[in-house]
Structure 1
Amino acid sequence: MKYVDEFRSHALAKQLAVAIANTVDTERHYRLMEFCGGHTHAIFRYGVQNLMPSNVEFIHGPGCPVCVLPIARIDSAIRLVKQHDVILCTYADLMRVPASERQSLLKAKAAGGDIRMVYSTQEVLKIAEQHPGRQVVFFAIGFETTTPATAVAIKQAQALGLTNFSVFCNHVLTPAAMQALLDAEPPIAVDGFLGPSHVSTIIGSQAYERFANHYGKPIVIAGFEPLDVMQSALMLIQQLNSGRHEVENEYRRAVTHEGNQKAQTLVNEVLEVRAQFEWRGLGFIADSALKLKTTYAEFDAEERFDMVDVSVKDVKGCECPAILRGIKKPQDCKLLGTVCTPENPMGSCMVSSEGACAAYWSYGRVYSS
C-alpha cells in the first residue's frame, strides 16, 4: 500500500540497522525514551529493538492517555452513573481500565449502568438529541490529538441548545508530562526522546524546544512506522555523539514547526489549563490538563454534578506507575502474565492499545531474558 509499505521495507530496515551500528560509540550506552505508546507498539511489533546494537536501549514513557488516567477519575465516572443515572459515553480503550475495588466501566455497564462505547464525539451528540429526557456525559480523554474534537462537540452542543449534554474532561498535556519526567528526583536516566507524532501535528515541533535547550536533551519527532522509529533513533544517536541537543523533525510529512494553528485556536477558545491534575505514575502535575472555560460551564459535568475525586492507590504489586515513569519495564512486573493478563488486567498498561504491557504481551515476550 502506498505510503505504508515504504515505511516497512525490510531492505531499508537492514540499511538503517547497518547505519546505526556504524554510528554508535561502542564505549557509551544510549537510553532513548519513546514518549508515545504508539512507538512502543511499533518497536515490539516489528522487532525494532532486535535491529539495534546492544548499547542502544528504548525506554517506555507515559505517552498513553488511557494509561496515565488515575483510578480516581474512573471511580468518579462510575459514581456519576450510579448516583445520577446518566448515559455515560466514552472510547472503547477506557472501558476495561481497572478502577478501585476491582471495578471498571465495563463491569459497571454489566451491572446495569448505561455506559456506551463511541467512536466519535458526534455519536455522543446524536445520543443526547435522541434522549432529551436523560443527561448524557462524554468521558473525554486523550492528549492534544483528541482535544479539538471535544472542543468542537461543546460548541456544537451550545449551537444546538443541548441542555442534557456535558463533558467530563480528562484531556492532558504532553509538554507538562515531559517536564515532570525531566524534573523528577532522582533524575530519570534518559539521553534523548522520540517525540510523539500525532500530538505534534497539533502543537508543532516548537513545543519541545524549551526542553531541548534547558535540559540539554535532544528530541526527534518520530512517525509511527518502524522505519520512522529507526531513522529517529539514528538522528538521536548522531546528536548525542556530536554533543548537540536540538529538536529535529523526522515526521515532516505530517508535523510542522507551528502545528495546527486552527485547532489550537479552537481549543483555546473552549478550554483552559487546570491548576493541577493527577497522572497515574507521575502524581499531581501543575498545569498539565485542561478544563472547560467558565463561558462553557453549563457543559462541564464536574460543575453540573458537583463531582469530587477521592485519591486511590494503584493495585499492590502493579508496576504500571514505574513503567510510565521509565524506571521499570513490563518484564520487571511480577504480575505480568500471571495475575495480570489482557483478560484480567491489574493495571492500565495492560488494557490500552498503546500500553507498554499490552505491547509486551502481544509481541514482545521473547524479550523476557
Structure 2
Amino acid sequence: MNYSNNLNNLWNKFKDPERVKNLVKLIKEEVEKYGKTINIMEFCGGHTHVILRNGLDELLKGYINFVHGPGCPVCVIALERLDLAIELAKIPEVILCTYGDLMRVPGSNRMSLLRLRAEGYEIKPVSSALEALKLAMENPQKKVIFFAIGFETTSPHTAVLIKQAKELEVKNLWVVCNHILALVVLEYLLQSKEKPLIDAFIGPGHVSTITGSKAYEPIVKKYQTPIVISGFEPLDLIQAVYLIAKQKREERCEVEIQYIRSVTQEGNIKAKEFLKEVFNIRKSFPWRGLGEIPYSAYEIKEEYQKWDGEKFFKVSVNSGKESPLCLCGKVIKGLSKPPECKLFGKVCTPQNPIGPCMVSSEGACLAYFKYRKNL
C-alpha cells in the first residue's frame, strides 16, 4: 500500500475543478431562486486566503459577496498590547517569545519586535507554546516571557504550558495572555451599530474543533443568521457556500458542519477543561479596529498568578496613534476591502507593512496583495 499516493489522491479530491464547477452551478441555481446576492462573511483569515488564491470570489461574482471578517489574531491585536510586548522585551535579562507573524507587526513609531531584535534584544519566534517552557528550562538565569496570542485554537496550548510550569515549579517563566474569543466578537459584529451587511457566516474550522458547533446555536437563534463551519480546501468552502445558499433559499437558519472530518457538536472536551481550569474571562479587552469588547478575552486565574507576566512585570506603555490613512480597522470589521485603502500596494506592502493585515499570513491585505494586486 502506497500511503503517500493515497494521501495525495485524497487531497486532490478537495481541489477537483469538476466538482467545484458542479457545486458552483448548484449555488447559482439556489441564489437565483432566492432572488438576490447573498453576503457571506468568512470569519477566518485562512478562509480568505483560500477564497482569493483559488478565485472562488470571481467564480461566484454577482451571486455571492464575500465579506472578510476579523478572524486573524495578529490583525486584531490592539496597538497598546503590541507596545506592551515591545516594552517587555526591553527589560534586562528577558527572553520574549511569541508566534512568528507578530514579530513584524508595527507598533507605535513604526517599532516592531523584529526591529527590536535587530538592536540586540532577545526575542524569539516560536511555533508552539511549549517551546517557551524549553527556553526557560535551558536558560535558568533568564526571565522568559511567552506573549500568547490567538483564538480558542491556541488557547489550550497556553493553558497546558501554564499547568506544566506549575507542576515542574519553573520559576523563570511568565505568560502574558492575549487570547481572544471568536464567538464573542462574532456576536459583537452582529449587534454593532457600524456592522457590515451579513446574511450568513462561514464559521472558523480550527476554532470550532475546540468550541464545537453547539456553541454557535444561541447566536444563530438570536440573530437569525446561518453559520456553516468549513474546512480549508477549495471544495470545502464551495460546499459551505452551497449549504448557506440552500438555507437562505429554504428560509432556514441553522448551524451546519461542513468540516465533519474535524469538527463535532461538542468540540474538544479535554481542551475546554484545560481552558476552564487555567483561565477566567476578562471584563473587557481591546481589539484593533473594534475597540474595547466586553468579556472577549481570557486572563490567567489567581491560582496561577505566579506565572502571569502582566502581574509580575510593571511596565509603562504610551501608545501612539495609528496611521489615519490605514484602513485595517475597517477591513477587520468587514466594512472595506483592501484595494479601497490608498496605502495598499503602494506605501503598504509585505516588505513595508503599515498595518497588521499586510503582515499576517491570514491577513486580508496580504491575500489581496498576493492574489489580486495585478488584476
- Which of the five TM-score ranges fits, normalised by the shorter chain? over 0.9
The match for 2:358 is 350
| Offset, 1:339 | 0.4
The match for 1:313 is 321
Distance 1:366 1:24, change over 3 A: farther
Query: Matched residues in 1 for 2:174 and 2:362: separation?
Result: 27
| 1:177-192 matches, cutoff 5 A | 177-192=185-200
Distance 1:63 1:54, change over 3 A: same
Query: Matched residues in 2 for 1:50 and 1:118: separation?
Result: 36
1:328 correspondence with 2:342: no
| Match 1:19 to one of 13, 26, 39 | 26
* CA deviation map 1:202-226 (0-9, x unaligned): 0000111111100110110011111
User: Gapped runs of 5+ residues in structure 1?
Assistant: none
The match for 2:234 is 226
Query: Matched residues in 1 for 2:317 and 2:337: separation?
Result: 29
Letter in 2 for 1:24: V
Query: Matched residues in 1 for 2:364 and 2:209: separation?
Result: 23
User: Gapped runs of 5+ residues in structure 2?
Assistant: 1-7
Query: Matched residues in 1 for 2:194 and 2:158: separation?
Result: 36
| Offset, 1:314 | 2.1
| 1:57-136 matches, cutoff 5 A | 57-136=65-144
The match for 1:4 is 11
The match for 2:293 is 285
| Offset, 1:272 | 1.1
Distance 1:258 1:246, change over 3 A: same
Tell me the TM-score normalised to structure 1 length: 0.97
| Offset, 1:73 | 0.8
Whether the aligned pair in 1 keeps the contact of 2:195 and 2:333 (CA below 8 Å) is: no
Query: Matched residues in 2 for 1:246 and 1:317: separation?
Result: 39
Query: Matched residues in 2 for 1:309 and 1:58: separation?
Result: 37
* CA deviation map 1:84-130 (0-9, x unaligned): 44100011111000100010000111111110111212221111011
Aligned partner of residue 25 in structure 1, secondary structure:
helix
Aligned partner of residue 15 in structure 1, secondary structure:
helix
Number of equivalences: 367
The match for 1:32 is 40
Whether the aligned pair in 2 keeps the contact of 1:274 and 1:287 (CA below 8 Å) is: yes
| Offset, 1:186 | 3.4
Distance 1:92 1:186, change over 3 A: closer
Aligned partner of residue 285 in structure 1, secondary structure:
strand
Query: Matched residues in 1 for 2:126 and 2:91: separation?
Result: 22
The match for 2:345 is 337
* CA deviation map 1:319-355 (0-9, x unaligned): 0000000000011111000000000000000000000
The match for 1:237 is 245
Query: Matched residues in 2 for 1:158 and 1:246: separation?
Result: 42
* CA deviation map 1:50-106 (0-9, x unaligned): 211413110000000000001111111111121344100011111000100010000
Whether the aligned pair in 2 keeps the contact of 1:88 and 1:138 (CA below 8 Å) is: yes
Aligned partner of residue 121 in structure 2, secondary structure:
coil
